């Protein structure tokens, strides 16, 4: 499948043509790599690479619109045809676009309504879409959203502590650069030879736009950008973090209006506001020549990034790898060094020679940490266009799936015991007795009960489910965790490393054990149902439960295919209470997310 990808950013236009197998898992090859950047009056820098032959120079395009309009001619000039679909990077998709979407008129209207949240980006994205629709009116145009990857952020991360009416109006954190962070995390896991779902990764995207993303066990946990692409790191022309009280202060002191302040924060701040130049290459050259303003800007830039890395390591309870990407992250050895210096306390140390000799040819992801360091540090070229092409191909290649009802079961608090825990709680020779069989074959509820005790309170008569497991696991709701006074993480069953400790009390004794989680919602699925519905093991889906005004959609629900499973969705009591779900409710899969693998 041949796909043209447009990536229209705030200060550059990247485009590419990709050839790849239909669907997921096939190799995708880049045929064309092009870019227009460093716009100035009536001209810009131009780069093109086709079949390994590169050309660079200046093009007569003074802005993004002119550059976008030039792409069809560039492709025709080099004999590139046979385009089957056009993929577009869309920066802001709000809370509703969790997966790629065909860009028809209603969808474009919804994206346009989000423009106030991304005024530098969404207009350029939409301009590229409309041009492509005019040139290739019969081809599908598909949007891939920067914000989609971050929709897995928990409420404590995406919520602002502001009045309820503001939050109800849509004021929340979204995060951006999601396509880049997603690709970087997958590439880092591949380079480390580890499943992404077992790694805690901090992706540091440093370019004209910059952000840091904490990727916890394969999911975006937090990003430095917020409601808009202004929050977080110092950027080329954007301020990053600023006290919101600045708006009132600047209005009173300088008589500036909201629009003036906002415009300045987007276009006249960041490196440009500190030094007069938005290009880190210029700033580093001036700093080396003794420019005090440039030196301060570099120190501020590095400090902000280092601060976020430390915070995200704490938020995830540790970090396995830090990955640098983006124009600055890929090319500035000195900035990588400045950011990493001082992080020895968390086991992160750079090797001087490895950092100085980074080679990213062939989409390499070299490691640059000191030998023996606890945290891996990698550098890799971001490949947003490649990731977009993959997701567009997967989205357009999905077969028409059969809709089958999925029974919904509400799972109350319970414990799965390991053999050593059973002995500690009930005695050395004790065997659990079966009270009733559960719908999942081989699983049963025991007659016995235990008590859970935390620093705040206790939960009595907690059910035990059999059979015994290799490791003790305790599943509670979020409300239960507050009753105990312990912050239990949302985890897949069996993913227990780094989970908090809770005390279990039985009739024979007590023990303190880790393994306390809030179980991530999931669907147990029989292989026959999975095949009919076009689903894969480990895939994330959205499930709609109920009809009409009472309908509710549960996003990011994991499919777990097991040979003898009874197809059934499991949610906890908090989710059931919040949505009014009772016995005999069913749901249906309405959206499938790209399969991330193990």
**Which residues belong to the active site?**
146
On whether 279 is known to bind a ligand per the annotation, the reply is yes
Pair type for strands 85-90 and 141-145? parallel
Is 384 known to sit in a ligand binding site?
A: yes
Annotated ligand binding at 89? The verdict is yes
Write the burial class of residue 10 (CB in 10 Å: 0-12 exposed, 13-18 middle, 19+ buried).
Answer: buried
C-alpha to C-alpha distance for 588 and 24, rounded to whole angstroms:
23
Q: What angle do CA 338, 342, 343 make, to 5 degrees?
A: 105
Is 7 annotated to bind ligand? yes
Please tell me whether 330 is known to bind a ligand. Answer: yes
Is 153 among the annotated ligand-binding positions? no
C-beta separation of 523 from 558 below 8 A: yes
* Contacts of range 483-487, beta carbons closer than 8 Å, 24 or more positions apart: 483/454, 483/456, 483/457, 483/459, 484/452, 484/453, 484/454, 484/455, 484/456, 484/457, 484/458, 484/459, 485/454, 485/455, 485/456, 485/457, 486/454, 486/455, 486/456, 486/516
Q: Is 130 annotated as a binding residue?
A: no
Please provide the DSSP assignment of 326-393 as one string.
HHHHHH-HHHHHHHHTT-GGGT--B-HHHHHT---GGG---B-BPTT-SSEEEE----HHHHHHHHHH
Consult the annotation and say whether 372 binds a ligand. no
CB 454 within 8 A of CB 462: no
Query: Does the annotation flag 209 for ligand binding?
Result: yes
CA 449 to chain CA centroid, nearest Å? 39
DSSP structure string for 49-96: EETTEEEEEEES--SHHHHHHHHHHHHHHTT-----EEEEEES--TTT
Cα angle vertex 89, ends 102, 206, to 5°?
160
Q: Is 65 annotated as a binding residue?
A: no
Write out the two tokens for 5: 């990808």
| Dist. CA 201–CA 321, nearest whole Å | 5
329 in a known ligand binding site: yes
Has 537 been labeled as part of a binding site?
A: no
226 among annotated binding-site residues? no
502: tokens are 């809770």
Pairing verdict, β 2-8 and 12-20? antiparallel
Cis peptide, bond prior to residue 467, ω within 30 of zero = yes
Instruction: Using DSSP, state whether 143 is helix, strand or coil.
Output: strand
248 among annotated binding-site residues: no
Q: Long-range pairs for 244-248 at CB < 8 Å and ≥24 separation?
A: none
Alpha-helix residue ranges (DSSP H) falling in 402-476: 419-426
- CA–CA dist 421, 425 (Å, integer): 6
Q: Is 216 annotated as a binding residue?
A: no
Look at strands 200-206 and 43-50 and give their pairing: unpaired
**Known binding residues for ATP:** 14, 205-209, 279-281, 327-331
- Which residues contribute to the annotated binding site for substrate? 89
The binding site comprises 7, 14, 89, 205-209, 279-281, 327-331, 384
Q: Which residues are annotated as a binding site for Mg(2+)?
A: 7, 384
């Amino acid at each position: 499948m041949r796909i043209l990808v447009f990536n229209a950013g705030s200060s550059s236009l990247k485009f590419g043509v990709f050839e790849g197998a239909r669907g997921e898992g096939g190799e995708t090859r880049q045929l064309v790599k092009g870019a227009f950047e460093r716009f100035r009056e009536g001209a810009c820098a131009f780069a093109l690479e086709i079949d390994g032959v590169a050309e660079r120079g200046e093009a007569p395009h003074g802005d993004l619109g002119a550059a976008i309009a030039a792409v069809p001619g560039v492709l025709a000039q080099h004999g590139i045809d046979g385009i089957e679909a056009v993929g577009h990077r869309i920066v802001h998709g709000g809370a509703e676009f969790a997966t790629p979407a065909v860009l028809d008129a209603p969808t474009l209207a919804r994206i346009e309504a989000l423009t106030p949240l991304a005024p530098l980006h969404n207009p350029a994205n939409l301009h590229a879409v409309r041009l492509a629709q005019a040139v290739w009116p019969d081809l599908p145009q598909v949007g891939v959203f920067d914000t989609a990857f971050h929709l897995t952020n928990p409420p404590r991360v995406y919520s602002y502590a502001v009045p309820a009416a503001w939050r109800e109006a849509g004021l929340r954190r979204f995060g951006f650069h999601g396509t880049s962070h997603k690709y970087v995390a997958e590439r880092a896991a591949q380079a480390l030879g580890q499943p992404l779902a077992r790694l805690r990764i901090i992706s540091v995207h440093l370019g004209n736009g910059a952000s840091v993303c904490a990727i916890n066990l394969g999911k975006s946990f937090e990003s430095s950008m917020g409601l808009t692409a202004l929050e977080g790191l110092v950027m080329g022309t954007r301020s990053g973090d600023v006290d919101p009280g600045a708006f009132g202060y600047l209005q009173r002191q300088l008589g500036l209006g909201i629009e003036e302040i906002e415009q300045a924060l987007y276009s006249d701040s960041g490196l440009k506001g500190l030094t007069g130049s938005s290009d880190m290459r210029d700033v580093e050259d001036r700093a080396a020549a003794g420019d005090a303003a440039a030196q301060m800007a570099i120190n501020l830039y590095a400090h902000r990034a280092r601060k976020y890395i430390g915070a995200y390591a704490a938020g995830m309870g540790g970090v396995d790898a830090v990955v640098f990407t983006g124009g600055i992250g890929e090319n500035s050895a000195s900035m990588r060094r400045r950011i990493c210096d001082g992080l020895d306390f968390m086991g992160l140390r750079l090797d001087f020679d490895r950092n100085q000799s980074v080679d990213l040819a062939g989409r390499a992801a070299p490691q640059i940490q000191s030998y023996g360091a606890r945290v891996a540090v990698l550098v890799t070229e971001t490949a947003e266009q490649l990731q977009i092409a993959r997701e567009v191909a997967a989205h357009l290649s999905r077969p028409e799936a059969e809709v089958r009802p999925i029974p919904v079961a509400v799972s109350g608090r319970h414990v799965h015991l390991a053999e050593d825990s059973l002995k500690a709680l009930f005695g050395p020779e004790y065997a659990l007795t079966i009270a009733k069989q559960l719908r999942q074959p081989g699983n049963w509820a025991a007659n016995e009960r235990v008590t859970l005790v935390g620093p705040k309170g206790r939960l009595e008569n907690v059910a035990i489910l059999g059979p015994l497991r290799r490791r003790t696991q305790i599943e509670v709701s979020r409300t239960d965790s507050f009753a105990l006074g312990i912050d239990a993480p949302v985890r897949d069953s069996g993913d227990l490393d780094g989970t908090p400790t809770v005390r279990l009390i039985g009739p024979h004794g007590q023990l303190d054990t880790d393994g306390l989680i809030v179980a991530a919602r999931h669907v147990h699925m029989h292989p026959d149902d999975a095949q009919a519905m076009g689903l894969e093991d480990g895939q994330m889906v959205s499930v709609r439960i109920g009809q009409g005004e009472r309908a509710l959609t549960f996003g990011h629900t994991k499919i777990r295919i097991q040979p003898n499973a009874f197809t059934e969705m499991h949610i906890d009591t908090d989710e059931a209470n919040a949505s009014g779900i009772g016995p005999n409710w069913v749901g249906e899969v309405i959206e499938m997310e790209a399969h991330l693998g193990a």
